[in-house]
Homo-oligomer: A and B are copies of this chain.
Amino acid sequence: MLASRSPFALRSAVRSLSSGYASVFHASDLTIKTRTSPPREKSPKEQLAFGKEFSDSMLTIDWTRDGGWGKPVIEEYGDLAISPAATGLHYGIQCFEGMKCYFSPSDDSLRLFRPDLNMVRMNSSMQRLAMPGFDGDEMIELLKRFCEVEKEWVPKGAGYSLYLRPTAIGTHPFLGVDVSDHVKLFVIASPVGPYYPTGFKPVSLFADSTNKRAWPGGVGSFKVGGNYGPTILPAKEAMEKGFNQILWMFGDDDEVTECGAMNLFFVVQEGDKKVLWTAPLSRGDILPGVTRKSIIDLCESWDGIEVRETFPKMPEIKKASQEGRLLEAFGAGTAAVVSPIERINYNGFDINIPATGELTSKVWDELNGIYYGDVEGPDGWSVRV
């Protein structure tokens, strides 16, 4: 049952496998190549735009079916030499992760946030595309070494971080639609600034009844490249209609799945209860976001809010809004953390939502506190480099 191979359900499986891979790479084999060109110029941090500027180095590890994993290398950031016949360019054999390295002023440390979840998800994405698995603990160690090497690239201050992009692509030069015999795993890094430099900016969503981001039996629960490209044109069309992003629905009863490239949450009043409502992972069409899971974990530990993981349906959301019970709505993901929603257009009807609500702000504060080491989060969430 591929559809139910949810990455976070795979966690124990991947962990138990980590010593059992046919081939593993080890952080202790890392080579750091001497740079031959001077460091790149850094933009003033106020001018940073997401994902446009890259740090001096990249981490690469190659795998072949015959030779297994090669040794990890940190080398100068630069173009990759890729065969024009590489499976990663033709058949979408590519997956990635989004992570951030934060500077904590409390102890002058660099920190990662729940990197173990990213490693589990990347393993599951790679294996879903018939790429090899790897030992997540070794990769976390390599990410720490990489962050140390690039520490001058971690911008300081609230909302600033070094965005890390672990990526895996098929590099086998073979046009058969088949398992890739060569794979490249690499990590690049991009310094990024606060998503909301002047305070929250709530977004508007267009509930798209034509285009479907993912579907049961597909790969919506994996962070594979092919899930993203097809969203760009619909998003552009939504923007031309005056909306910021798309709300993705599925099924005849317009179940709410995600928004843009984020997981989606609603806060609804039910009698004297507040319910935090989000789509479940069980059907295999929802991306198991690290921010999503962390919000659920936090809210389950908090009083006064009940977490409900079942698909919200747009007619229910509309009804809750009309009855004054739709209290908050927000997207959640690594880039924006939380993104408050103030309006959803559904079948031509505008659902207006109070923004930015109490829970949205509380989640934002708590997560940012943990990211930057100002708040002591649950064990293992904030990992020192």
A interface residues with partner B (beta carbon < 8 Å): 1-3, 50-52, 54, 58, 77-85, 87-94, 96, 127-130, 163, 165, 167, 169-170, 173-179, 186, 188, 190, 210-212, 215-219, 224-236, 260-261
Q: Are A179 and B230 in touch, CB under 8 angstroms? A: no
Residues of B within 8 A of A260 (CB): 177
Q: Are A229 and B230 in touch, CB under 8 angstroms? A: no
Taking a contact as CB atoms closer than 8 A, the residue among B94, B174, B211, B235 that contacts A92 in the complex is B94
Q: Are B89 and A167 in touch, CB under 8 angstroms? A: yes
Give the Cβ gap from A130 to chain B, nearest Cβ, in Å. 5
Q: Are B92 and A226 in touch, CB under 8 angstroms? A: yes
Taking a contact as CB atoms closer than 8 A, the residue among B84, B173, B210, B224 that contacts A167 in the complex is B84
- A173–B78 CA distance with the chains assembled, in angstroms: 11
Q: Are A1 and B210 in touch, CB under 8 angstroms? A: yes
Q: Are B225 and A85 in touch, CB under 8 angstroms? A: no
Residues of B within 8 A of A173 (CB): 52, 54
What are 5 A-B contacts defined by CB distance under 8 Å? A2-B234, A77-B84, A79-B83, A212-B217, A219-B230
The 5 closest A-B pairs by CB, nearest first: A226-B226, A51-B175, A212-B217, A92-B225, A91-B228
Q: Are B90 and A94 in touch, CB under 8 angstroms? A: yes
- A94–B77 CA distance with the chains assembled, in angstroms: 23
Give the Cβ gap from A325 to chain B, nearest Cβ, in Å. 30
Q: Kindly report which residue of chain B lies nearest to residue A88, judged by CB atoms.
A: B89
- A128–B28 CA distance with the chains assembled, in angstroms: 44
List 11 other contacts, CB 8 Å, given A79-B84, A175-B190, A212-B216: A51-B176, A52-B176, A79-B81, A79-B83, A88-B89, A89-B225, A91-B228, A177-B228, A177-B261, A215-B217, A218-B230
Q: Are B85 and A3 in touch, CB under 8 angstroms? A: no
Residues of B within 8 A of A93 (CB): 225, 229, 232
Given A88-B89, A167-B90, do A2 and B50 touch, yes or no (CB 8 Å)?
A: no
Q: Are A175 and B50 in touch, CB under 8 angstroms? A: yes
Q: Are B229 and A91 in touch, CB under 8 angstroms? A: yes
Residues of B within 8 A of A174 (CB): 51-52
Given A2-B233, A80-B84, A224-B230, do A169 and B89 touch, yes or no (CB 8 Å)?
A: yes
Given A79-B84, A84-B80, A188-B85, do A229 and B233 touch, yes or no (CB 8 Å)?
A: no
Given A79-B82, A232-B129, A233-B130, do A3 and B211 touch, yes or no (CB 8 Å)?
A: yes
Residues of B within 8 A of A52 (CB): 173-176
- A175–B96 CA distance with the chains assembled, in angstroms: 11
Q: Kindly report which residue of chain B lies nearest to residue A229, judged by CB atoms.
A: B92
Taking a contact as CB atoms closer than 8 A, the residue among B51, B78, B188, B212 that contacts A215 in the complex is B212
Residue of A51, A81, A227 ringed by the most chain B CB atoms within 10 A:
A51
Residues of B within 8 A of A163 (CB): 175
Q: Kindly report which residue of chain B lies nearest to residue A188, judged by CB atoms.
A: B84
Residues of B within 8 A of A91 (CB): 225, 228-229, 232
Residues of B within 8 A of A215 (CB): 212, 215, 217-218
- A174–B96 CA distance with the chains assembled, in angstroms: 14
Q: Kindly report which residue of chain B lies nearest to residue A226, judged by CB atoms.
A: B226
Give the Cβ gap from A239 to chain B, nearest Cβ, in Å. 10
- A130–B51 CA distance with the chains assembled, in angstroms: 19
- A212–B215 CA distance with the chains assembled, in angstroms: 8
Residues of B within 8 A of A90 (CB): 94, 96, 165, 167, 225, 228
Q: Are B51 and A92 in touch, CB under 8 angstroms? A: no
Q: Are A226 and B230 in touch, CB under 8 angstroms? A: yes
Given A81-B81, A179-B236, do A224 and B226 touch, yes or no (CB 8 Å)?
A: yes
